[in-house]
Amino acid sequence: MQTEVPILLMAFIRPDLVKRAMERLSKFAPPILYVMGDGPRSESEASLCQQSRKIAMNPTWECEVIPILNDNNQGVVASFVKGMNKMFSEHEFGIYLEDDIMLSESFYDFSQEILLTYRDNTRIGHVNSTNFIPHYDPKDYQGSYFFSEYAFEWGFATWKRMWDLYDVNMLAWPKVNQKKMLLQHCFNYRERKSLRQMFDLHCDNPSPLAWGYQWLFACLHNKALSVTPKINMSLNLGFNREDSTNTSGENPVASPIGDCGFPLIHPSTILRNVEYDRAVSNLVSPSYLSVLLGKLRNRVCPCLKFSHKSKD
């Protein structure tokens, strides 16, 4: 029975980030490493692809390296699906990691224990490394992690049983009770509207822009919760770079990486932590009212400051 956790690493045209990601992985030395390398989009990217692959396929620790390399560019979504299909054709569970994600040294042991603990529990489908609200610490809560409905993409672990439910075309979306699903998951109209638009956009789309909305839909559709550690255990360095695909500007939720304590304290019940998820929603998708009040504060406060200075 499988106990080792393989890692699937996406390595494309950012050798500097691949090097940093590999340095982080060396801290816990995973025994099996899948390297998904998409092909270059232009001649100018060919050298960067080769550099990234060379770094990823030559770890500084002893492990089995399994290359999954495209001669031609297939895009991030097709590469993600190809890599996950390969890893889960050979393993029961694993970790997915993009080159710009730096993991905590303790995430490997954390995810390994979670993957083994809930390997047969279909109520759990995703293991986050990211905690967008690491300061959230309710009184009398003894667990090492929360159960959430938010499946973050910045480094995560999952099971083959969950991957088998993934459909990049989201063909089940038109058949579900969309209103009920969005009302149960989302905390305000703005979040529901945004998520509905993204689900509509990616449903039966021959050229999807991303793979993460389909993954979130698979979790929601199958009522599979996500495990979120109380300590944030990943950092996305892909922001504010010209070579980034889906990130721009400064990272709005960059929190320091921490290490969780062992042995893990498992929650006594498997229930969504609604308070935590509401805090996440308020951060990543605040309501229209919250956005409006924020704009008003930004306008009024400078005026008040100026008024006080004028009186002085």
Label residues 282-308 b or e (16+ Cβ within 10 Å = b). Answer: eeebbeeeeeeeeeeeeeeeeeeeeee
What does the pLDDT read at residue 251?
56
When the pLDDT of each residue in the chain is averaged and rounded to a whole number, the result is 91
Average of pLDDT values for 129-134? 94
Count Cβ atoms below 10 Å from residue 225 Cβ, excluding itself: 23
What is the token pair recorded at 17? Answer: 């980030």
Q: What phi and psi values does residue 66 have, to the nearest 5 degrees?
A: -120, 105
Q: What percent of the chain has pLDDT over 90?
A: 83
Query: Residue 54 is part of which domain span?
Result: 7-311
Task: Mark out the alpha helices in the chain (DSSP H runs).
Answer: 15-25, 43-56, 76-88, 107-117, 160-163, 178-185, 189-202, 212-221, 274-284, 288-311
Q: 3-state DSSP call for residue 21? A: helix
Question: For the chain, how many structural domains are there in total?
Answer: 1
What does the pLDDT read at residue 247?
54
**Could you tell me if residue 204 is left (phi over 0), alpha (psi between -120 and 50 degrees) or otherwise beta?**
left
Is residue 71 in a domain? yes
Are residues 191 and 200 in contact, defined by beta-carbon separation less than 8 angstroms?
Answer: no
Are residues 31 and 94 in contact, defined by beta-carbon separation less than 8 angstroms?
Answer: no
How does residue 297 score in pLDDT terms, banded at 50, 70 and 90?
low
Note the Cα 226 to chain centre separation in Å.
11
Note the Cα 288 to chain centre separation in Å.
25
Cα-based angle 117, 120, 124 (whole degrees, multiple of 5) = 75
List the beta bridge partners of residue 228.
146
Is residue 188 in a domain? yes
How does residue 241 score in pLDDT terms, banded at 50, 70 and 90?
very low
Q: What phi and psi values does residue 131 have, to the nearest 5 degrees?
A: -125, 110
Are residues 32 and 4 in contact, defined by beta-carbon separation less than 8 angstroms?
Answer: yes
SS (H, E, C) 66-87: EEEECCCCCCHHHHHHHHHHHH
Residue 216 pLDDT > 70:
yes
Cα-based angle 80, 85, 91 (whole degrees, multiple of 5) = 120
Are residues 116 and 92 in contact, defined by beta-carbon separation less than 8 angstroms?
Answer: no
What does the pLDDT read at residue 41?
95
Global pTM exceeds 0.85: yes
Rg (the chain; Cα; Å): 21
178 or 307, higher pLDDT: 178
What is the token pair recorded at 283? Answer: 């951060």
Return the CATH number at 161: 3.90.550.10
Average of pLDDT values for 80-98? 98
Residue 198 pLDDT > 90:
yes
Is residue 2 in a domain? no
pLDDT tens for residues 42-76? Answer: 999 999 999 999 999 999 999 999 999 999 999 99
Is residue 89 in a domain? yes
How does residue 254 score in pLDDT terms, banded at 50, 70 and 90?
low
Q: What share of the chain is helix, strand, coil (3-state, %, to 5)?
A: 40, 15, 45
What does the pLDDT read at residue 286?
80
Count Cβ atoms below 10 Å from residue 170 Cβ, excluding itself: 22
What does the pLDDT read at residue 285?
86
How far apart CA 308 and CA 312 sit, in angstroms, is: 6
What is the token pair recorded at 261? Answer: 């304590």
Is residue 1 in a domain? no
pLDDT tens for residues 255-267? Answer: 789 999 999 999 9
66 or 241, higher pLDDT: 66
Token pair 């304590």 in the structure block, residue: 261
How does residue 300 score in pLDDT terms, banded at 50, 70 and 90?
low
**Counts for the chain of helices (H) and strands (E), in that order:** 10, 10
Is residue 137 in a domain? yes
Is residue 68 in a domain? yes
